[in-house]
Structure 1
Amino acid sequence: MHLIDLRSDTVTRPTTAMREAMMMAEVGDDVYGDDPTVNTLQEFTANLLGFEAALFTCSGTQANFVALMAHCQRGDEYIVGQQAHTYRYEGGGAAVLGSIQPQPIEFTEDGTLDLDLVASKIKPDDIHFARTRLLCLENTQNGRFLPLEYLRQARDFSRSHSLKLHLDGARVFNAAVAQDIHVSEIAHHFDSVSVCLSKGLGAPIGSVLCGSTDFITRARRWRKVAGGGMRQAGILAAAGLFSLNHNVQRLAEDHANAHLLARGLQDLPQLTVRYEDNQTNMVFVTVADEDVTGLTERLRTENIIVSPGTQMRLVTHLDITTEDVESVIDVFHDHFR
């Protein structure tokens, strides 16, 4: 049965070629630092993004958590978007396990954080307040890539306020491909960047955190504390290497399919479709309350899976073809006929 799964780009499955690379991977013990495939992945990713070092982690959540722990100490604070993954969707790990206080603020319409608003949230050097140490951005944010000029402004702002700057770059390659630039043009603005391998790049597991050598040394310790010290992890790292070598430029196909999907649904009066100029592989659809259940059930009968709700996020990825998108459009139109 062919399923068209639009819930997320995390649902991708390894290709035959990726599975073969995993099967043939040379392995060691990564806790001892002698898994050659993990080491190759870390060196490759660090060089690709323009950093001194990198660390392979179990997940994006773990990569962001150890980044926060490496940048901040107990009683410190990081400023972050209200809907950002590092604040809203990672279990509050920095606060729960690290005693690091988040200061969330609303995103603007284009997915950026207003730097004047950020400035107003930086705490004075006073014993009454947590110490503001870090600004976290997200690229892409709800599928929207951040403009390079804004990244330059955020870098200069952070330096002028003595803040470190971290990027949750789970989909940073989507941002780079959409702007037709090398990923290092985004990454070099930041003190640290996390990259997810298991979303649009198609690996089954894992993220890579990049930064300076000293920063990664601190992050490695926190990865161990968080239970992320894996052993023969080269089997997983091989999938990550394969994804970085074969699946980056093809992200443009996902963006084209998302654009096709948005155009195909925009003329339905029962839907409000949001797909902006800086969107990549996500289409957001607003459905009336009374239509949600019927639409979701109809889609499922056609082997189309979505996350149900009045606000639907439809995500294209390497397991979604142009023909799949055309089928989805046809089902939507037929349902609302």
Structure 2
Amino acid sequence: MIDLRSDTVTKPTAEMRKAAYEAEVGDDVYQEDPTVKELERTAAEMLGKEAAMFVTSGTQGNQIAVLTHTRSGNEIIVEQDSHIFNYEGAAISAFAGVQPRTIKGNRGAMNPAEVEAAIQGEDVHNPETGMICIENTHNRAGGAVVPLENMEAIYQVATANQIPVHLDGARLFNAAVAIGRPVKDIAQYTDTVQFCLSKGLGAPVGSIIAGSEEFINQARKWRKRLGGGLRQVGVIAAPGLVALRTMVDRLAIDHENAKFLAEGLGNISGMNVVNQIDTNIVLVNVSERGLTSNQYAALLKDHGVLVSTFGPRLVRFTTHYDVNRESIEDALRIVSKI
């Protein structure tokens, strides 16, 4: 099978497996695991933040941010197609007791003026705005990179209103590689940031959340409450270190493969690529094939290609470490054939 469903399907490299096997470990709930501590220091330095914390997943990292920044009854401002709103099981409401105020973005980027207009203060009728969330890259916008000037403008609005900004940077390193800037240049316009080790970076599990030392100290209690306090976690933190040290620059290969794939798909009748290819995601409208996205995905699977569905008409192709150019060419031949 040529698996283009997601970059989450990547398998750990041989170097990651070796690092896991040889990892020095300790009890991380007591903050005694040296490998986790090294991973957290490394991540914080890369992001330009005071401190960082290893979490089990991007969703857990986002929820810890909401729980730490807000209080029950608050409202958080999010882009209407954001992951935290669409794909996290309504956790912001179930756990933190906050409600979302959604803003329709342009390729995932919210208009700063609309963000400012959406902020609510102390009125007995309204929930106070407790947090603003930006997603970069933006998944449902096809891996779009939110421009730095947009992030800066939103951060200035938030700072003026004393509201924290959280970055759902699940694919943050894809954004950084795409614009040729270090990740700290993106993270500077946020108070806290979460990124995944387990997507394009290829580690088998885990994410990082970072911010001020005060924030991370509070976040550790929320991680514990959510069941995220782990013990000899160095065996899964070690592959994360390998990912940060060896897998960042090669993301450019995934981006080039996505552009190659998009160009090839665009030359096939009835395959309408609907997004600008910034990073590693290609969205295709298949309605002209006379099939729903579920039907088309099933047809592709029967011929050896796996894709994700994005609503009734869209399918998503995602390039990653385990799919090389030859596999992309094979996938294009299959799509053309059927």
TM-score (normalised: structure 2): 0.95
2:115 and 2:154 in contact (8 A); partners too: no
The question of 1:331 aligning with 2:334 is answered yes
Structure 1 runs (4+) greater than 6 angstroms displaced: none
2:297 and 2:315 in contact (8 A); partners too: no
| Structure 2 residue corresponding to 1:51, chosen from 37, 49, 58 | 49
Change (3 A) 1:74 1:180: same
Aligned mates of 1:246, 1:156 — CA distance in 2? 34
Residue in 1 that maps onto 2:317: 314
* CA shift for structure 1 position 119: 1.9
Residue in 2 that maps onto 1:41: 39
Residue in 1 that maps onto 2:132: 135
2:173 and 2:248 in contact (8 A); partners too: yes
1:195 and 1:207 in contact (8 A); partners too: yes
* CA shift for structure 1 position 249: 0.4
The question of 1:253 aligning with 2:250 is answered no
Residue in 2 that maps onto 1:305: 306
> Which sits farther off after the overlay, 227-236 or 85-94?
85-94
The question of 1:20 aligning with 2:13 is answered no
Aligned mates of 1:116, 1:62 — CA distance in 2? 30
> In the TM superposition, what are the counterparts of 1:90-101 in structure 2 within 5 Å?
90-101=88-99
The question of 1:6 aligning with 2:13 is answered no
Aligned mates of 2:89, 2:232 — CA distance in 1? 28
Output the amino acid matched with 1:49. L
2:112 and 2:150 in contact (8 A); partners too: no
Output the amino acid matched with 1:141. H
Aligned mates of 1:206, 1:294 — CA distance in 2? 33
SS of residue matched to 1:268: coil
Structure 1, unpaired ranges of 5+: none
Alpha-carbon deviations, 1:94-130, whole Å to 9, x = none?
Answer: 211111222122222x210112222222113212211
2:300 and 2:306 in contact (8 A); partners too: yes
* CA shift for structure 1 position 298: 4.2
Aligned mates of 2:92, 2:296 — CA distance in 1? 38
1:8 and 1:314 in contact (8 A); partners too: yes
Aligned mates of 2:291, 2:71 — CA distance in 1? 48
Residue in 1 that maps onto 2:243: 243
Output the amino acid matched with 1:283. V
> Which sits farther off after the overlay, 153-162 or 190-199?
153-162
Aligned mates of 1:129, 1:144 — CA distance in 2? 33
Aligned mates of 2:33, 2:259 — CA distance in 1? 41
Identical-pair percentage:
43
TM-score (normalised: structure 1): 0.95
1:193 and 1:209 in contact (8 A); partners too: yes
Residue in 2 that maps onto 1:287: 286
Aligned mates of 1:95, 1:213 — CA distance in 2? 26
Please report the RMSD computed on the Cα atoms of aligned residues, expressed in angstroms: 1.4
Residue in 2 that maps onto 1:111: 108
Output the amino acid matched with 2:115. V
